[in-house]
Amino acid sequence: MTISVGQKMPSGAFGVMTESGPGAISTDDLFAGKKVVLVSVPGAFTPTCSMNHLPGFVDQAAQLQSKGVDTIACMAVNDVFVMDAWGKDRGVGDKVMMLADGNGEYARALGLELDGTGFGMGMRGQRFAIVVDDGVATHVGVEAPGQFEVSKAEAILEAL
């Protein structure tokens, strides 16, 4: 079942890069008592994700924060090393938290997995953005295949 507005976000954990190497953050630590924009992309370093989706949230970080967002987090079904390298390559700094959903478990828990085997990408997460307020989804923007409208930073700013 796909996550919808008003539902509690599923429990889980993501890989994150720390100063001392790979680490993890639980969904409780990520969402509890905070307003979070959780963005998902099908893959790090892929064209739309690298040129438009992630940079939009980096560029709009201050505007999102001015609307009460505590954390902008970008997840992909990639490992923590790839997510860290991609964040550095895109210059996210401390504007966007890079989350590795290495085995796609969280995308699956949300009901938002994507079968990319036809493109040689295996199972991935769909392109989406969810606004989470204290662990509850308050806005869910899931893209139709091949689209980039409802999950971009500007659409999330309008939804806030």
3-class DSSP state for residue 119?
A: helix
**CB 23, CB 58: distance < 8 Å:** no
DSSP state of 11: P
From its phi and psi, is residue 117 left (phi > 0), alpha (psi between -120 and 50) or beta?
alpha
| Catalytic option among 49, 61, 74, 131 | 49
Of 101, 119, 120, 118, which Cα lies nearest the Cα of 110?
101
Asked if 49 is an active-site residue, the reply is: yes
3-class DSSP state for residue 37?
A: strand
Q: Which alpha helices (DSSP H) does 1-146 contain, by range?
A: 27-31, 47-48, 54-59, 61-66, 80-89, 105-110
Residues noted as catalytic: 49
